[in-house]
Each structure stands twice: as C-alpha cells, then as structure tokens.
C-alpha cells in the first residue's frame, strides 16, 4: 500500500498493513509498525522507529536532524510508540549525543498542526499538544499533560502529569503535576480541577491537591515545614505525594 510516487529507501522496514501516501519520502533506517498511515508529502528520516496504528498527516517532518549547532552527524534516533496522531506541518527532531541520543514519544498522543518537539525531549502517553505548541530541547512531558495553542516550554524543563499549560504561555520553570499555569512567563493559577474531574479523579483527591498547592506553592515559608504539615494528605492520597516529590526533585525550580 505504497503510492507509486512515494520514495522509500530500500533499508526502510514498513509493515505490510501500512499505507504510504503520494510524494512522501521515507529515508534509510526508518521502521513503521502495523496499521500505521502516512499521508502525502511527509518526510520521515532515520534512524526513526514508528510503532503501530499511528497517523501522520501531510507535510509533517518526522525524524529530521536536531536543530543544535553542536550536532555533528552523530547517530541519534527518534522513537515513537503506538496510536499517535501527528497532524499537518508538525516537526519532530531526533536526539543529540549530549542529551541521551534519543527523542522519545509514547502512546496515544495527539500532536496537532505546527507543533514542534525538539531534540532529546521525552513525551509520555495521552498528551495533547494544541496547534503551534513547541518544546525546546531536553523537555520532559508527563502523562495526560496538555499544552494549549502556541504554548512554549524552555529547554531542560519538565511538565508533570495532568498539568495544563495555557494559551500563548511560556514555561521557563518546571510545571508540577496536576497544576495549571498561564502567562508569559507562566504563573501558577491553581490545580487543574476541571481536567482532573474529566479524567475520573474524585473530589476528595482534588481537594487534597488544592490544599497541597496552597501550602507549598502559594504560601511563603520553609518548604520542609510546609511538607511536614501535609503528612496526613501524603499518607492518604498518592497524588499529593507525586505532586510534592516532583517539586522536591525539580532542578530548575517550579512555576509559582
């Protein structure tokens, strides 16, 4: 199911059930899993591994060289999991030798038009990148995180699970899990309550996260004392523990 006008390198490994659209270019060392669909005018460059049941729309550039002046042609790669949707004009770059040599995208992600994922980024599962959202290099994004339209994340930052980065926002610090941030530069606006309710979190867990947010993020004072005051919440709600552990492990500091 490869269109006659597509250009496919002999070393590419394409599952029999894949479809490759017209004028698409599949370079060497590209592997595409069962059931994946690649539209017209797409460029896939390796080493890149694309899993099962992915959809890549027209004019996307997937697996191109990293946009890093230190890159000198070293063998680096891109790994994409299963059931992802990559829309028009998306650009996703391979890793760099200095950053672990791999850009990785998990499963069930929706990457909308004009998004950019730079070198050495690590994307988990079930994320949504709205139109024009961009990651600089070495960014980690947790499960179920959402980046609204034209949101940007600074290099070496992390966005935690179930976090929300608002429209046109620039996150130049780590965004803790379950939190909502908005602005340029981004500021903390609270717990992502509506998003958590849609994903089945109960009101008690959301309230516990809100108390942890108010205690650690909003109030001034000693962090150790603040965390100690939340011991009962930590023991009862694993979400609170993940929230606090992320803040404790942050190297860049968090959005406040």
The strand pair at 85-86 and 13-14 is best described as: unpaired
Domains identified in the chain and CATH numbers: 7-138 (2.160.10.10), 196-249 (1.20.1180)
pLDDT-based confidence at residue 221 (cuts at 50, 70, 90)? low
For the segment 71-94, the average pLDDT, to the nearest whole number, is 97
With vertex at residue 172, the alpha carbon angle to CA 117 and CA 146, rounded to the nearest 5 degrees, is 50
What is the enclosing helix (H) or strand (E) of 228? Answer: helix 223-228
Q: What is the CA radius of gyration of the chain?
A: 20
**What pLDDT does residue 218 have?**
83
Residues marked as catalytic? 119-120, 137
User: What's the number of CA atoms in the CB half-sphere (13 Å) around residue 215?
Assistant: 21
Under 8 Å between Cβ of 92 and 86: yes
Chain Cα centroid distance, residue 145: 8
Tell which residue, 104, 89, 84, 27, has the closest CA to residue 58.
89
* DSSP-assigned beta bridge partners for residue 136: none
d(CA 98, CA 153): 20
Average pLDDT score over the chain: 96
d(CA 229, CA 211): 10
**What pLDDT does residue 241 have?**
94
115-159 pLDDT, tens digit each: 999 999 999 999 999 999 999 999 999 999 999 999 999 999 999
Percent of residues, the chain, with pLDDT higher than 70: 98
Under 8 Å between Cβ of 9 and 25: no
203 three-class SS: helix
């Amino acid at each position: 199911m490869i269109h006659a006008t597509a250009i496919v390198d002999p070393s590419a490994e394409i599952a029999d059930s894949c479809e490759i659209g017209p004028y698409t270019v599949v370079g060497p060392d590209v592997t595409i899993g069962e059931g994946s669909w690649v539209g017209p005018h797409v460029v896939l460059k390796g080493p890149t591994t694309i899993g099962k049941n992915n959809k890549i729309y027209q004019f996307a550039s997937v697996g191109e060289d990293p946009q890093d002046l230190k890159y000198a042609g070293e063998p680096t790669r891109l790994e994409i999991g299963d059931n992802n949707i990559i829309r028009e004009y998306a650009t996703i770059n391979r890793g760099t030798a200095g950053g672990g040599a791999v850009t990785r995208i998990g499963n069930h992600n929706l990457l909308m038009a004009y998004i950019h994922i730079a070198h050495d980024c690590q994307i988990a599962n079930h994320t949504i990148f709205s139109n024009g959202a961009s990651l600089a290099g070495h960014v980690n994004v947790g499960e179920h995180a959402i980046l609204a339209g034209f949101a940007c994340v600074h290099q070496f930052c992390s966005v935690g699970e179930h976090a929300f980065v608002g429209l046109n926002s620039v996150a130049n610090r780590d965004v803790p899990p379950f939190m909502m941030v908005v602005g340029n530069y981004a500021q903390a606006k609270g717990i992502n309550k509506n998003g958590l309710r849609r994903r089945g979190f109960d009101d008690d867990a959301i309230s516990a996260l809100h108390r942890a947010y108010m205690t650690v993020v909003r109030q001034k004072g000693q962090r150790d004392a603040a965390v100690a005051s939340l011991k009962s919440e930590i023991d009862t709600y694993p979400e609170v523990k993940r929230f606090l552990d992320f803040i404790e492990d942050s190297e860049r500091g968090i959005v406040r």
